[in-house]
Structure 1
Amino acid sequence: MELTYILDAKSVRAGLKASSKKRLLQELAEIAEAEHGLKSGAVFDAVQERESLGPTGMGGGVAIPHARLEALDKVIGIFATVAKPIDFDAVDQQPVDLVFMLLAPQEAGAEHLRALARVSRTLRNGDVCAKLRSTNDPSAIYSILTEAEASRAA
């Protein structure tokens, strides 16, 4: 699954000012509402429920909060950098400043897992993360994410 299938440029934000994990998830849910027409409350509740099962901070300053929603017909992504890293209960106890929220249809078993694997592989690349942290331009961030994918395909 390609990142360009799940993430579009309008769903990328830079320098979010959230001061807590809860507030960050609320802001990402608001982006999901603004850009994809989803109800922010439903998105937030679904992601919070998933977080209660175990935090999605994968280490290295990266988190991939995710949830399944009835209102979707395909997997969508929202990516943001955070101005000041926040505690996300990550496995390495490091604060998070790169967040890729994945939202999938309720029945998207394999598709959801493929998307999660693709995002995880991309954000485990130290060079990609360094480039993402070096800019506050959402269009440049989108290019970095999609170019990382294109260079793997070459």
Structure 2
Amino acid sequence: MDLTTILKPEAVKVVSAASSKKRLLHAVADLAESAYALDAPVVVEALLERENLGPTGVGHGVALPHARLTGLDSVIGAFVLLEKPVDFSAVDRQPVDIAFALFAPEDAGVEHLKALALVSRTLRDASLCVKLRANQDASTLYSILTEAQNVQAA
């Protein structure tokens, strides 16, 4: 599994107007709808349900919201870079400006966990996050994410 199997270029976006955690999750859901034809209201509901179990802000300005959805065949992702960070109730209380959302089939066990681990490992790289934050072009962000993962694998 690598990021190119989880994330497609159309599922990467820079968002300028997300003023809260809930609005960020709506932006992620809208992106998932446009990139993967998912039902945005269903996605938002699933993400909010997961957030109620515990915040997915992992620290250093990064959040990994995730949910299980019916009708999926494999784990898919959506990446959002915020121009202005928002409070996400992260473990380190830092606002979030990078969100990589994952959506898994309801019965995906190990595959979902492997995808979360992969994304988490990738976004723990501080220099990678600096590069992401320095770019406002979705195709460049996709390249940074997928190339970084290829370098780590080598």
Q: TM class, shorter-chain normalised?
A: over 0.9
Equivalents in 2 of 1:93, 1:138: separation in Å?
27
In the other structure, the counterpart of 1:52 is 52
Q: State percent identity of aligned pairs.
A: 56
Equivalents in 2 of 1:89, 1:95: separation in Å?
8
Equivalents in 2 of 1:23, 1:114: separation in Å?
27
In the other structure, the counterpart of 2:62 is 62
Equivalents in 2 of 1:97, 1:4: separation in Å?
22
SS of alignment partner, residue 14 of structure 1: strand
In the other structure, the counterpart of 1:120 is 120
Alpha carbons 1:64, 1:99 under 8 Å: kept: yes
String of CA shifts for 1:71-96, please: whole Å, max 9, x gaps. Answer: 21111100010011000000000000
In the other structure, the counterpart of 1:145 is 145
Alpha carbons 1:26, 1:40 under 8 Å: kept: yes
String of CA shifts for 1:24-74, please: whole Å, max 9, x gaps. Answer: 101111111111111101100001000000000000000000000012111
In the other structure, the counterpart of 1:86 is 86
Quote how far apart the aligned CAs of 1:14 are: 1.3
One-letter code aligned to 1:24: L
Q: Paired residues, what number?
A: 154
In the other structure, the counterpart of 1:42 is 42
String of CA shifts for 1:100-138, please: whole Å, max 9, x gaps. Answer: 010000000100000000000000000100000000010
Alpha carbons 1:38, 1:71 under 8 Å: kept: no
- 1:93-108 matches, within 5 Å, as 93-108=93-108
Alpha carbons 2:15, 2:27 under 8 Å: kept: no
SS of alignment partner, residue 101 of structure 1: strand
Equivalents in 2 of 1:44, 1:3: separation in Å?
23
Equivalents in 2 of 1:98, 1:61: separation in Å?
6
TM-score, structure 1 as length reference? 0.98
Equivalents in 2 of 1:80, 1:119: separation in Å?
13
Give me the CA root mean square deviation. 0.7
Equivalents in 2 of 1:144, 1:15: separation in Å?
17
Equivalents in 1 of 2:80, 2:103: separation in Å?
14
SS of alignment partner, residue 82 of structure 2: strand
Equivalents in 2 of 1:9, 1:144: separation in Å?
11
Quote how far apart the aligned CAs of 1:17 are: 1.5
SS of alignment partner, residue 112 of structure 2: helix
